[in-house]
Structure 1
């Protein structure tokens, strides 16, 4: 999102169903999430003639209505469950 609140989606970026993720991209995403200790979030990437580049990583993503409509479900529902589960693990460990 830029300083005017305009997301890349609103500037022409498109959501695309990917049924089989390229191995390099899959490793880049998983490695990034592991390094940053993120269990769920959003990763933006671009692909050009030089290859794929991760341009943004968000532990909590700002899922647009268009993205939720695209997925046909709201990822924030799952994120809420994850937060509760992690909190309960911390509580249990603290005794």
Structure 2
């Protein structure tokens, strides 16, 4: 994974979070409901990355997106990314 915070907490970028939500087809409102976080918290994360959230909220957001089939990819020469698990597996 990419952008490790101190103590090993994963912190995806704003672009990764926005892409992950878009790829799952969820609105900000639906993702907020799925995570139990506020709409403004999701907006803040998509503007500034998970590092602007509390560690607990960042972890919750990442866990829910991963549960929906998102894999956060490590940065390479082209930068970090996301992958969505196919319906077949």
Question: Relative contact order (alpha carbons < 8 A, sep ≥ 6): 1 or 2 greater?
Answer: 2
Query: Who wins on radius of gyration, i.e. which is larger?
Result: 1
The TM-score range, normalised by the shorter chain, is 0.3 to 0.5
Higher helix share: 2
Structure 1 length-normalised TM:
0.31
